[in-house]
Chains A and B, each alone.
Chain A
Amino acid sequence: MKKQHIIPAAVLSVSTVLAACGNNEADQPAGAENEAGNEEKGELTIGVTPWTSTIPPTYVAKHIFEEMGYEVELTEADVSTIFIGLAGDDIDVYMDSWMPVHENYYEQYSEDVTNISTSYPEAASGLVVPDYVDDVESIADLKGREDEFGNELYGIEEGASVMDELRDLIEEYELDMELVASSEGGMLAQAQRNMSSGDPVLFYGWRPHSMFNEFDIELLDDTDEFFEEASVHVMAAKSMEESSPEAYEFLSNWSINIDDVEEMIVQIEEGEDEEDVAAQWVEENRDQVDEMMGN
């Protein structure tokens, strides 16, 4: 019983915010919007992984869902847990699924989870070295110079499919290197450690990521196209199509510019509030947002 009182109140406050924002829907009085059936659109839960690239799209989506009249909750979890949550309807949306890195999860749960849209294609990834390492421009240049890098290549967590790719790469290029598994944080800490003493270091990097703003590093040329071009996708629970059709429709139209994402990552790392950064993006890209909302 209590819940029924809360939801209209929340919708009301959302529509007040809408009115305050002065967007094109605000010409309807708040009450009329309620009568139009916008109330009780329900709750949406977005899964959030602890990666820098997840935050901007997640908060942009949250902002837009709230404009549409949903209540949005964010649940932080590990990517495997998020896929289990999507399959079990505990989580509705996940904004930062990397393909082909997350291919194995998607295959496992594709019965209940849908790859609803491509957030941005062409997210570059590959081997990264600091700028001060001379004469290493491509992966092939590493051959014969492995000892400069301590014969180690630093990767992310064991079990991620990119780790198998990196092992194949070492084999294919016949590099005398050992792949060291850890985690995003562990790998970056190791890279920072080597860079602080000016030593060469080789690790796995990808865009969008703030590492390219924080450190002077370059992505090595991948002449043999070893790394498949990654793309970032939005995953949604299949049940959403019925339970939250408007949000589902919006997600199926979703896309965002990779440069915008990287810019937002930097703003957030510089201490700006995630919600403000997202709101600002929505204001600046109102036309695109309207289009995605099907207006």
Chain B
Amino acid sequence: MNYFTLPLEEWTNTFINEWLLPVFGGFFNGISIVLSWLVDGVTSTLLFIPPELFALLIALLAWKLSGRNLAIFALAGFLYIGAVDIWIESMTTLSIVLVSTVVSIFIGVPIGILSAMNGRVEQAVRPTLDFMQTLPVFIYLIPAVLLFGLGGVPAVIATTIFAMPPAVRMTNLGIRQVPSDIIEASQAFGSTSKQMLMKVQLPLAVPTIMAGVNQTIMLALSMAVVASMIGAPGLGSIVLSGISNVNVGQGLVGGLGIVVLAIILDRMTQGLTKKTAV
């Protein structure tokens, strides 16, 4: 099948080494500094709160958003995290997940709105999202390091690429799903398209958008282990170390920590989704 040679490998390497890095190195450095300041800030805030207080606050929040069962689970989960001595790692992972989720929402929701308003934008966005979701993660780990250096920052970037698509898709879907009779009614009352978006379409789309946010958080957590290969500290690093030493126990200790965080975050955002739907 090789009718012609496609030097994709050389092109990409030349592009990155001779153009992207020298020309935009400073720009990426700037992003890197801002993001690492953000990740470090969130991590040290989370670690500043005494673990007992943090567990109680989350349990209360869980009670409010979801119910008593989740509150009990959250307390038990944090007791586990404390008992196996992975508190710092859990908070580090949580902070990378939170920052990635916030970045994903900040970029994803506006793109979702744009593609709901404009068919052409959607046509361009959809294959891009497919590409982002199916391209194996390992491929953009190394370029992420080249551009942003090792540590939490490339992890946030790689996680964002992987976790943003649901935020875009669900925002788009949520706005498009607003019933046309409601749209017509608000048009009849003379609403401008800005009013329509802010006061009709977005509020009605919130439950769907929240479902997208929930998906984004889950995908972000699932990147934790992979991200530790590019120097992201946290639970993933415990798991990776366990795997590479054939230390099954250590792998499970870190893995269960991820599960605890995932269940709490998942049920809480689901609860929030239900609350916004009412």
Residues of chain A at the chain B interface (Cβ within 8 Å): 78-80, 83-84, 104-105, 108, 152, 154, 157-160, 180-183, 185-187, 189-190, 192-193, 196-197
User: Does B100 make an interface contact (CB < 8 A)?
Assistant: no
What residues of chain B lie closer than 8 Å to A197, measured between beta carbons?
A: 21, 25
A190 engages B244 (CB within 8 Å): no
The answer to whether B141 and A78 have CB atoms under 8 Å apart is no
Q: Report the bound CA distance from A189 to B141 in whole Å.
A: 10
- Tell me how far the C-beta of A142 lies from the nearest C-beta in chain B, rounded to whole angstroms: 19
Taking a contact as CB atoms under 8 Å apart, the answer to whether A193 and B21 are in contact is yes
B interface majority secondary structure: helix
Q: Once the chains bind, are A158 and B246 in contact (CB under 8 Å)? A: no
Q: Nearest B residue to A160 by beta-carbon distance?
A: B244
Q: Is the CB of B228 within 8 A of A158?
A: yes
Which partner residue on chain B sits nearest A83 by CB separation?
A: B246
Contact of A159 among B21, B151, B231, B245 (CB under 8 A): B245
Interface size range of chain B in the complex: 20 to 34
Contacts across chains A and B counted by CB atoms under 8 Å = 80
Shortest beta-carbon distance from B224 to chain A in Å: 13
Is residue B205 within 8 Å, beta carbon to beta carbon, of the partner chain? Answer: no
For B145, the chain A residues whose CB sits under 8 A away are: 182, 185-186, 189-190, 193
- The CA-CA distance from A193 to B17 in the complex, in Å, is 9
How distant is the Cα of A67 from the Cα of B150 in the complex, in angstroms? 45
> How distant is A56 from chain B, measured CB to nearest CB, in Å?
21
Cα–Cα distance between A152 and B36 once the two chains are bound (Å)? 15
**B231 and A182: CB pair below 8 A?**
yes
Residues on the B chain within 8 Å of A160, using CB: 244
24 A–B contacts from the bound complex (CB under 8 Å): A79-B244, A80-B245, A80-B246, A83-B246, A84-B246, A104-B245, A157-B229, A157-B241, A158-B240, A158-B241, A159-B243, A160-B244, A182-B145, A182-B230, A185-B142, A186-B150, A186-B229, A189-B143, A189-B150, A190-B145, A190-B149, A190-B150, A196-B21, A196-B25
**Binary flags per residue of B236-250, CB closer than 8 Å to A gives 1, else 0:** 010011111111000
How far is B230's CA from A159's CA once the two chains are assembled, in angstroms? 14
Smallest distance from the beta carbon of B265 to chain A beta carbons, Å? 24
Q: Is the CB of A105 within 8 A of B246?
A: yes
Would you call A108 and B241 a contact (CB within 8 A)? no
Closest CB in chain A relative to B238 CB, distance in Å:
8
Q: Are A158 and B142 in contact (CB under 8 A)?
A: no
Min C-beta distance of A237 to chain B, whole Å? 16
| B175 CB to nearest A CB, Å | 39
B141-A186 in contact (CB<8A): yes
Asked whether B190 is an interface residue with its Cβ less than 8 Å from the other chain, the reply is no
Which residues does chain B contribute within 8 Å of A193, judged by CB atoms?
21, 145-147, 149
- Of all chain A residues, the one with the shortest Cβ separation from B233 is A181
Neighbouring A residues of B142 by C-beta, 8 Å: 185-186, 189
**Chain B residue nearest to A157 in the complex (CB):** B244
- In the complex, residue of chain B having the shortest beta-carbon distance to the beta carbon of A185: B142
Please, which residue of chain A has its CB at the minimum distance from the CB of B143? A189
Chain B residues in 8 Å Cβ range of A192: 17, 146
Asked if B22 CB lies within 8 Å of chain A CBs, one says: yes
Please, how many angstroms separate the alpha-carbon atoms of A226 and B146 in the complex?
Answer: 30
Scan residues 216-233 of chain B and give those whose CB is less than 8 A from a CB of chain A: 228-231
**Most chain-B Cβ atoms within 10 A of its Cβ — which of A104, A160, A182?**
A182
Assembled-state Cα–Cα distance A97/B50 (Å): 45
Q: Which of B22, B146, B237, B246 is in CB contact (< 8 Å) with A189?
A: B146
- Answer whether A80 and B231 are a contact pair too, CB < 8 Å, given A186-B141, A186-B150, A196-B21: no
Chain B residue, CB-CB nearest to A155: B231
- Contact flag A159-B244 (CB < 8 Å), given A183-B229, A186-B150, A193-B149: yes
What are the 6 tightest A-B residue pairs by CB atom distance, in nearest-first order?
Answer: A159-B241, A189-B145, A159-B244, A182-B231, A158-B241, A183-B229
A182 to B146, CA, bound (A): 13
Q: Roughly how many angstroms separate A190 CA and B146 CA in the complex, as a whole number?
A: 6
Closest beta carbon of chain B to A12's beta carbon, Å: 30
Residue of A nearest to B22 (CB): A196
Q: A105-B246, A157-B240, A159-B242 are in contact. Are A180 and B231 (CB under 8 A)?
A: yes
Across the interface, do B243 and A187 meet the contact criterion of CB distance under 8 Å? no
Across the interface, do B244 and A78 meet the contact criterion of CB distance under 8 Å? yes
Which chain B residue has the least Cβ–Cβ distance from A183? B229
* Residue of chain B at shortest CB distance from A163: B241
| CA distance in complex: A187, B229 (Å) | 9
- The distance in angstroms between the C-alpha atoms of A162 and B143, with both chains bound, is 25
Given A180-B231, A193-B21, decide whether A80 and B149 contact each other with a Cβ distance below 8 A: no
Assuming the contacts A159-B240, A196-B25, asked whether A182 and B150 have C-beta atoms less than 8 A apart, the reply is yes
